Amino acid sequence: MSLLLRKKCQELLDNVGLDSYHVQINASNKHLEIAGECGQVLVTIEGIRLSKMAPGEAEIELALELFDAFLARHTPTFRKFIQD
């Protein structure tokens, strides 16, 4: 997986209070996932599918835009789910 993608996505997760989570690319279907510290998947983002495990810079930038929009829409739901 691209460490650059993970690092940039981590900044977005940190900004919305999901700092104990990270992103990963599902090896079988290449969808972006948000996972916990032990690798347990919180959510698979069907709308962000990468072409390969190590995407190029242009693909990373597009994935970041989509991920940012995804977080803007769903962060309140994640916070509620995590607190319960």
pLDDT digits (tens, 9 = 90+) for 32-52: 999 998 889 999 999 999 999
What pLDDT shows up at residue 1? 61
Q: Is-contact 66 47, C-beta < 8 A? A: yes
Nearest to 19, CA basis, from 36, 43, 42: 36
pLDDT band of residue 21 (cuts 50, 70, 90) is very high
Give the per-residue pLDDT at 84: 58
pLDDT band at 81 (very low <50, low <70, confident <90, very high): confident
82 pLDDT more than 80: no
Q: Are 22 and 34 in contact (CB under 8 A)?
A: yes
pTM score, whole prediction: 0.89
